[in-house]
Amino acid sequence: MIEHPILSIKNLSHRYSSSWAIRDIDLEINRTGILGLLGSNGAGKSTTMNIMCGVLNQTEGSVLINGIDIREQPELAKRQIGFLPQNPPLYLDLTVDEYLIYTAELRKMEYRQIKPALEEAKERCGIAHFSNRLIKNLSGGYRQRVGIAQAIIHKPKLVVMDEPTNGLDPNQITEVRTLIKEIAVEHAVIFSSHVLSEVQMLCKEIKMIADGRIVFSDTMDAFNNYVEPHSVLMQMENPPVTAELLKIAGVDKVDFVTERQARVYFTGDREITERLIAASVHNGWRLSEISLDKTALDEIFKQLSTKTMQS
């Protein structure tokens, strides 16, 4: 039996009128887990996802889901896909059960499979106690869970999620992250976001799209290390005032994250850490921890976008 990739995209391009939205996108997924799709708004993420889920017909290139060409056999291919758009396609006047049964029927699931699949999806998404509640009476976090349930009820090979934590409060975001991790144990998941911290929390591999092209494809660790860090984090028991840190050669800017932790922005080489340590010893700042800042991903994202588009 031939093993096909769960997703195989080759030379994918799409044009709106005279403008190309994406050009020559290649992407392949062979196993379960979470792949992060990074890109700023307008970079081409949504166009790529809409094509791979059969919402749009591409101008050029191919999309195969588990070996099935989505353009040639769209109905068969879509049975292998679960899709959660940025705005979940919820019918607010239906109950949770009514809506999920409807989405199962849309996927042409066999009647005898729907009931057990419904109960399993509700249980996995933590919404079983809302079975008979109207969707319009659910909170934003639980509506998102219903949207995720419709994406997995038919047990697809591939689950595509577009900005799934957008608009949620911090507690809801944490809950949805945990749910996505659980889903990725059995499914291949594409997690799209322009919020880099979200991708960092969930994904080990990423694809970055800028100006309609994939400009980075590697692990999250490689992405973090692609450009030199531009700041360090200092934890001090007796921190100085900002002006004292700014006197050190190479220091451009200082932000205090907490009362005792400072993010120090610098130019030049990494010898800045040695200068900061020496200053701490000399001035009695009682430095307890110093590390190159791996959390400032927004700045890394800007640098990476600029580098790749200039090359």
pLDDT tens, position by position, 39-93: 877 889 999 999 999 999 999 999 999 999 999 999 999 999 999 998 888 999 9
> Is 301 inside a domain boundary?
no
Say if residue 59 is in the same domain as residue 208.
Answer: yes
> Is 27 inside a domain boundary?
yes
Of 225, 255, 279, the residue that ends a domain is 225
Local confidence band at 247 (pLDDT 50, 70, 90 cut-offs): very high
Say if residue 56 is in the same domain as residue 70.
Answer: yes
Say if residue 151 is in the same domain as residue 245.
Answer: no
Average pLDDT over residues 172-181: 89
DSSP three-state, residue 251: strand
> Is 97 inside a domain boundary?
yes
Average pLDDT over residues 140-166: 93
CATH number at residue 102: 3.40.50.300
Say if residue 286 is in the same domain as residue 187.
Answer: no
Answer for the pair 169, 197: CB distance below 8 angstroms, yes or no.
no
Q: Is the dihedral of CA 234, 239, 244, 248 positive or negative?
A: negative
C-alpha Rg value of the chain to the nearest Å: 23
CA 85/CA 74 separation, integer angstroms:
18
Q: Please state which of the ranges 49-63, 136-150, 209-223, 297-311 shows the lowest mean pLDDT.
A: 297-311
Answer for the pair 128, 158: CB distance below 8 angstroms, yes or no.
no
Containing structural domain, residue 253: 231-293
Mean pLDDT for the chain? 89
CATH number at residue 258: 3.30.70
| pLDDT score recorded for residue 300 | 63
Domain count within the chain:
2
With a cut of 80, say whether residue 140 has pLDDT above it. Answer: yes
Answer for the pair 240, 284: CB distance below 8 angstroms, yes or no.
no
Answer for the pair 219, 205: CB distance below 8 angstroms, yes or no.
yes
| pLDDT score recorded for residue 230 | 76
**At how many degrees (to 10) do helices 111-125 and 140-152 cross?**
140
Say if residue 214 is in the same domain as residue 190.
Answer: yes
Of 225, 242, 272, the residue that ends a domain is 225
Say if residue 207 is in the same domain as residue 255.
Answer: no
AA letter at 292: L
Give kind and range of the element (H or E) at residue 41. none
| pLDDT score recorded for residue 229 | 63
* Half-sphere exposure in the Cβ direction for 85 (13 Å, CA): 11
CA 145/CA 302 separation, integer angstroms:
32
Say if residue 216 is in the same domain as residue 271.
Answer: no
**Structure tokens given for 229:** 């860090």
> Is 308 inside a domain boundary?
no
> Is 309 inside a domain boundary?
no
Answer for the pair 90, 53: CB distance below 8 angstroms, yes or no.
no
Average pLDDT over residues 211-222: 88
> Is 302 inside a domain boundary?
no
3-state helix, strand and coil shares in percent for the chain, rounded to the nearest 5: 35, 30, 35
Local confidence band at 302 (pLDDT 50, 70, 90 cut-offs): low
> Is 311 inside a domain boundary?
no
> Is 187 inside a domain boundary?
yes
With a cut of 60, say whether residue 311 has pLDDT above it. Answer: no
Say if residue 176 is in the same domain as residue 55.
Answer: yes
Q: Name the DSSP class of 136.
A: G
**Structure tokens given for 27:** 């992407």
Say if residue 28 is in the same domain as residue 72.
Answer: yes
CA 270/CA 246 separation, integer angstroms:
16
Answer for the pair 143, 88: CB distance below 8 angstroms, yes or no.
yes
Say if residue 196 is in the same domain as residue 96.
Answer: yes
Say if residue 44 is in the same domain as residue 156.
Answer: yes
For the segment 184-200, what is each residue's pLDDT rounded down to a tens digit?
A: 999 999 999 887 778 87
Of 225, 246, 264, the residue that ends a domain is 225
Average pLDDT over residues 229-244: 89
Q: What angle do CA 146, 148, 152 make, to 5 degrees?
A: 115
Backbone angles phi, psi at 99, to 5 degrees: -65, -45
With a cut of 90, say whether residue 110 has pLDDT above it. Answer: yes
**Structure tokens given for 64:** 């195969």
Say if residue 158 is in the same domain as residue 264.
Answer: no
